[in-house]
Structure 1
Amino acid sequence: MGTIVRIWAILNLIGLSHADKSSVNILTPSGSLGAFEEEDILRVLSRNKTDTTKNFTFVELISSLGNYTIDAEKDIWSDGRLEMYQTNPHYENFPEEIDLEARRFLQILPAYDPGAGGVSAECKRHSDIFHEELAKFTLWALKMYDATAKVPSGLLNGNINQFGDFDECVGVEGKDGIRGQYCLAYLQLDVDQSRPDLKYLHRLLHSHYAFRSNMTDPGHRVPRFSTVNWAVCTPASCTAQDVKVSLQHAISKYTTQTGLKITLHVDEEMCQVKKELVLSKATIATSLLFATVFILTLVAAYYDHCEISASELLLSFSLKRNVRKLFSLERPQGDIASLHGIRFLNSVLLVIAHKSMAAFFTPYVNRTYMSEFLGKSWTVIGRAASLYTDPFIMLSGLLTTYSFVGKLNRTGTLDIKNEYLSRLLRLVPTLGALILFCTHIMPYIGSGPQWPLVVTNHANICKKTWWRNFLFIHNYFGFENMCLTHTHHVGIDTQLFAISPVMVLLLYKKPKIGVIVLGAIALISTILRFYVTYTRYLNNYVYFGTSIRQLFDTADFSYTLPSHRLTVYIIGIFAGYLLRNIPKDFKLSATTLYTGWTVCTVMFLAAFLGPSKMGSIDYVYDPIHAATYNAFAPIGWCGLFLWMAITQHTASSNGFLNKLSSWRGFLITTRISYAVYLTQFPIYFFNVGQTRTAEQYEFFRIMINLKEIIWILFTSIILTLLFDSPFQNLKNHLLKKSVLQKDKTKPLKIE
């Protein structure tokens, strides 16, 4: 078709020499016939009369008439520095043609007016310049126009979050010092509830309300699923309030006297401009700290490898020693083998559940399909994130008690001060390294439409509240204002560990009273979970259509409180006490084994599959159902894992599950499990912040992202080798030295 058009145009032009003064029809770029006077054509032909080497050739004439942009003297449009031109250099030659084309083009796709409404004077002035240059097709103005989101296809399939073009916008440099500013505005769409037609369309637009949210909900931890994200590119002189006013003015023109109501909000932090990289003193200091630790590990490795005499404190950082220790398959004395497989399984499930939540931040061209796909019962695996943390609480109670009782059996005493010190040296260095990285380095290593929301916002919170994390009390201040919200589990576990000596000593010295007291506390904790969930309409399970406010309230009033997690912790204390004191030759009878496996499996399936209907797209919230789940699911879920540990440790059962969970390879995953728990969300949020365009949702491609998995493993290994292992070595050295000094100062006992 293109060849035919060219031939037709050439044949028409050949006849120009015989034409009279009447107009000549040619094919315009729009595909319609336009009229050009012969004078106009002669004017084009007559350019550069004095220099025949620069006259238009016949082919160049066709290109000039067809595109109005090709300049034989200077191909401006191929210049790599286009923004240096403050106005279109071709406008002088083709003012009428460009004006006509601009009017037609902008009638079809009107430009967003950042100067509409009661905006500031400077914003209005720059907006007028923008429109003036856009009408001339000046490139920087076209880029600003192009970077602003447009109404797309697939709205009824959930393609409503439009990010425009982030990099194109922030790269704009125009006339009179105008710079591009990228703003991601939040829009709330409401419809006339008396209109069932609009209600159904609204449901499709919002992907069946997989989450319900308002613009006032905090969006840095859980996505505002019901809020529309819409990008606009404005001059940097326009404030967030200016953008809100101008957008409201534009929207009102199209929604007046309709059944649609749109409210909007523009956060100042969500308006971004291209900034020069200026590192803060804290960032430089943090970078130097990490560099120092890295160099220290290499120096220590050199001393270790060359067997040069050095302090044990230095050798604790030896990369060679710590790599060998990390990948060792030798079991420590008194190891409960099956616990490593149990920890690995729940770690994997937790990674999947956290990824499921992070995936909802990303815009999808088929988001409605995604919601329909996930609105099935089997999605329980990604919705029960809280369930997967309970085994870690239980294992903490079990291992703490197992260790304490062992020491009490050997020495009759418990050095609580050393236990607390050991705990701090185990947790603080790795946690501190992560907080420093996420607060002072991570904000500088990326950018994107949602970067301020999911990265910078977290960093700002940590700058104010980091001290709560190091005191392990951050879980009491609410999810919304918590530094690195996913670390709430560390606070809960540490607080439970702090009171564990009292519980263990009570159980050790007075077993009967201890069982009664601890059992009563566990029962009270269970009742608390049920009561609070029922009375406050909470839900510890992410059901279909849950609200963001309900999720935060559930976290604040139940999930992050140690008093509500005591049940499984005390169950772990009972199990640790039992495993330490059970006779080595003790064997469970066949009847006991059969009954135990049956009961624990039924409890496990009830905890896992019982809430499956909550994932249904048609689920209606039931407070009794939610309260029952929150109260009893943790017990059922942990029961099977405890039974596996007991049967394996007593060698009463050697079935497939016990063999699998006792595989030596899980020793390695146990050593990096703490780092995996800490690093997964920063990696997820890094990718969310970097996302610039809508993706096609495909379950396995999104959920099993090999790049993310590799990065989680890589950063976890690095964090373990640089901080976790060295400080554990230091802990062992210091505590061993402390014990030796105590032994030396003890008076000799004469018998």
Structure 2
Amino acid sequence: MIFYLKLFFLCSIVLSVGSVKNVNLQLNNGLRSLQDEEIISVIVDKKNETKNNLTFVDSSMNNYTIEKNYNKFKTSSFNNEQINDHYEKFDNFVNQESDQFFNVVPIFNPAAGKVSKICRKQSNIYHRELKKMTLWALKMFDATGKIPSGLLNGNVNQFGDFDECLGLQGTHGIRGKYCLAYLQLEIIDQSRDDLKYIHRLAHSHYAFRSNLTDPGHRVPRFGSIQFALCVPSACTTTDVETSLRATIDKFVSSTSLNVSVKVDQEMCQVQRYNKYPPETLIVGLFFIGMVILTIIAGICDHNNANISEILLAFSIKRNFKKLVSMKRIDGDIPTLHGVRAINAFMLIIAHKSMALFFNPYVNRTGMSEYLGQSWTVIGRAASLYTDPFIMLSGLLTSYSFVGSLKKNNSINIKKEYLSRLFRLLPTLAGLILFCTFIMPNVGSGPQWNLVVTHHADICKKTWWRSFLFIHNYYGFENMCLTHTHHLGIDTQLFAFSPLMVIALYNWPKLGTFVLIIIAIFSTALRYFITYYKHLNNYVYFGTSIRQLFDTANLSYILPSHRLTVYIIGIFIGFTLRKLPIDYKINKTVVKLGWILTTLMTLTAFVAPAGMGSINYVYDPTHAATYNAFAPIGWCALFAWVVFLSQTGNTHGWFSRFLSWKGFLISTRLSYAIYLTQFPVFFYNVGKTRSAEYFDFFKMMFDFHEFSWIIGTSVILTLLFDTPFQNIKNHLFKKRETTKID
């Protein structure tokens, strides 16, 4: 038992990053317990006993306070944080009390190791003033992370006090610098099963495995410990990393633990006093101008003013009516709106679950155990919920192109490409502008630079890739707004869709054979790359960050690996156009189809639940089978119900539910919801300042957060999406009228 107490205390000291000179750690002789008198003497020195401000509790449990000289201790007496005005009067008491206190609570020394001269100088001033109990130095000490309770329940990430650190100003121009350091704890002696168990609990059963070299801006470094340090502003990132490593090395040099340290430059912050950069002001004025334009256009539209249709395209009145309209357009496929809404909601839940792993929790181990239950498959299959969108894209593209071929015997490819640019590019550009130049300046927090500013910096360099829709070829970690990879995939598949549809229309048998071969090849490609590269599209316990990025880069974001469901959509759209509206299918075939597609969809959804278990061991065969066939299985039921409903072969509750008119609004917002959800999630992650208690339903279904997603989506739709679609319709209509004349 004594051994485990020693081991636990050692782990706690490592996490506290305390200074050796203030702690006497002797494992060989046992841990010396503090006597009650020693603890009391730290708080109230016997030489300075006073009854000026004491609280007494009598036997009747009545609690009252006697304050004889209250006026002597007004807050105004401590307004000067630069010096301790009372030190000269009570220097002996202060020195003795500070020595006793800091023998119990260790101090992190920013001057430990080979640091710069200016850092050492300011650190010495900090220690001198801390000994005097000067307020700014006490705040610097207070803002640094401390040993927490609940280490074995995963409460290892300590964010300190972000605002207290950045707000302090000391003598000699010293200001607070907040650094969020990363610690990687590894066990050297692999025979130590006792250490392994403690390590597993502290690291929350390894929900994700990560290294300090892994990118942390898109997927959290879950396996690393985050610890806040408040240091003098002159200390560079290198100084902080050097002093932290020197401090920890003294503790672990003779143990079975190895601790790696990393302090990223972007994770060290000082108070920002500068004004907004010029580009932020310019982009801000642009958005204000867009808002004014929609209002002016709306006023003109309301008063029936004789102005250009281009200006009226921005009318907020007209566009809001379109947004909430329940009127279906000609050729609409009603069930598609429900399919899109269901998968959009599931995708939000899956993305939200990933965002939650960035935050610290006092019960992070309990959180991992809770999420290790089979039913949490709903949040582990994020990749699955994007496949129906690809299928629907192929379906609508084929449905439109075949209709054009039947009517005009040709496809106006130039018009189709321009139409797609009008549909996607303005809204995407608006989001990139906001996330790159506005969002980094509207908040702050311990991880703000990691999940907000870092993304903005990437976008400043690589925005052009997104505008050309080729950003998915440059690596998941190097992508501007990584969640927009789907736009690149979909646009590239759309670029080749005319060839697929024309081949299928003009040479049905040959076109069908070629497309089936391509679909089989794409499925086989997913299987073999997953198997031989040890990838996994399903997030299991122990998934490494490197494995997730490799899965994305080598399979998930490549159009060649997503062709199968797109071709399924091409076939459905083609068939719906070729068959008569009242085409009847044998009832036995209908029933068999329902049974088969339902089983396929449930299998794709439920079968991998065992892979989410805490004790699951990775099997490349499981991963390859899932990546190859789950997209087909998940899309099967949706494809079947769309086909039956559109041909009039079903009027059941499921098809009626998917055809509900309310889903028309979600369809009009779906693109903007897809774009805005991650910026909202990361905004909340970035401004999180302390650990919370993880409550699944409270945090997963945060209606305040959902309201922000819906609200920002409405704004983005009204400012960019709908207006530019109106402009597109006007220009194309005008061109067709000119050709007729």
TM-score by length of 1: 0.90
Which residue, out of 468, 482, 487, partners 1:485?
482
| 3-state SS of paired residue (2:46) | strand
Q: Select the structure of larger CA radius of gyration.
A: 1
| 2:179 is aligned with 1:167 | no
**Residue aligning to 2:302:** 305
| 2:127 is aligned with 1:115 | no
1:344, 1:401 → 2: CA distance? 21
Deviation of 1:77 (Å):
4.0
1:130, 1:738 → 2: CA distance? 73
CA contact (8 A) 2:472 2:489 kept: yes
| 3-state SS of paired residue (1:231) | strand
Deviation of 1:281 (Å):
2.0
Q: Deviations over 1:445-489 (max 9, x none)?
A: 000000010000000000000000000000000001000000000
Which residue, out of 623, 626, 632, partners 1:626?
623
1:721, 1:498 → 2: CA distance? 27
1:234, 1:585 → 2: CA distance? 75
**Residue aligning to 1:419:** 416
Percent sequence identity over aligned pairs: 59
**Residue aligning to 2:517:** 520
Q: Which amino acid aligns with 2:419?
A: S
Q: Deviations over 1:550-597 (max 9, x none)?
A: 000000000000000010001100000011111122112210110100
Deviation of 1:74 (Å):
5.8
| 2:636 is aligned with 1:639 | yes
| 3-state SS of paired residue (2:573) | helix
**Residue aligning to 1:533:** 530
CA contact (8 A) 2:536 2:551 kept: yes
**Residue aligning to 1:657:** 654
1:653, 1:72 → 2: CA distance? 81
**Residue aligning to 1:461:** 458
| 3-state SS of paired residue (1:177) | coil
1:676, 1:576 → 2: CA distance? 25
Deviation of 1:34 (Å):
2.1
Superposed counterparts of 1:211-290, under 5 Å:
211-290=208-287
C-alpha distance 76-250 of structure 1, shift in aligned 2 (>3 A) = farther
| 2:391 is aligned with 1:394 | yes
Q: Deviations over 1:665-720 (max 9, x none)?
A: 00000000000000000000000000000010111011001111000000001100
Q: Which amino acid aligns with 2:448?
A: W
C-alpha distance 101-71 of structure 1, shift in aligned 2 (>3 A) = farther
**Residue aligning to 1:46:** none
| 2:127 is aligned with 1:131 | yes
| 2:46 is aligned with 1:34 | yes
Deviation of 1:32 (Å):
7.1
1:696, 1:434 → 2: CA distance? 32
CA contact (8 A) 2:211 2:223 kept: yes
1:492, 1:498 → 2: CA distance? 10
| 3-state SS of paired residue (1:176) | coil
Q: Which amino acid aligns with 2:417?
A: Y
Superposed counterparts of 1:518-597, under 5 Å:
518-597=515-594
**Residue aligning to 2:682:** 685
C-alpha distance 713-31 of structure 1, shift in aligned 2 (>3 A) = closer
Deviation of 1:253 (Å):
2.2
1:198, 1:743 → 2: CA distance? 81
Superposed counterparts of 1:728-739, under 5 Å:
728-739=725-736
CA contact (8 A) 2:43 2:97 kept: no
Q: Which amino acid aligns with 2:194?
A: D
C-alpha distance 512-180 of structure 1, shift in aligned 2 (>3 A) = same
Which residue, out of 132, 142, 148, partners 1:146?
142
| 3-state SS of paired residue (1:567) | helix
C-alpha distance 553-153 of structure 1, shift in aligned 2 (>3 A) = same
**Residue aligning to 2:673:** 676
| 3-state SS of paired residue (1:693) | coil
C-alpha distance 559-92 of structure 1, shift in aligned 2 (>3 A) = same
Q: Which amino acid aligns with 2:629?
A: F
1:85, 1:703 → 2: CA distance? 42
**Residue aligning to 2:331:** 334
| 3-state SS of paired residue (1:345) | helix
Deviation of 1:278 (Å):
2.0
1:72, 1:544 → 2: CA distance? 58
- Once the two structures are overlaid, the 10-residue window that deviates more, 341-350 or 602-611, is 602-611
Q: Which amino acid aligns with 1:34?
A: K
Deviation of 1:277 (Å):
3.8
| 3-state SS of paired residue (1:190) | strand
1:241, 1:115 → 2: CA distance? 12
1:291, 1:61 → 2: CA distance? 56
1:543, 1:70 → 2: CA distance? 63
Deviation of 1:743 (Å):
2.1
Which residue, out of 334, 350, 354, partners 1:357?
354
| 3-state SS of paired residue (1:178) | coil
| 2:176 is aligned with 1:180 | yes
Q: Which amino acid aligns with 2:693?
A: Q
Superposed counterparts of 1:715-730, under 5 Å:
715-730=712-727
Q: Which amino acid aligns with 2:380?
A: R
1:736, 1:541 → 2: CA distance? 46
Deviation of 1:646 (Å):
0.7
CA-based RMSD of the aligned residues comes to: 1.9
CA contact (8 A) 2:448 2:687 kept: yes
1:380, 1:103 → 2: CA distance? 54
Q: Which amino acid aligns with 2:312?
A: L
Q: Which amino acid aligns with 1:474?
A: H
Unmatched segments (≥5 aa) in structure 2: 1-36, 56-64
| 2:169 is aligned with 1:157 | no
**Residue aligning to 1:98:** 94
Deviation of 1:543 (Å):
1.3
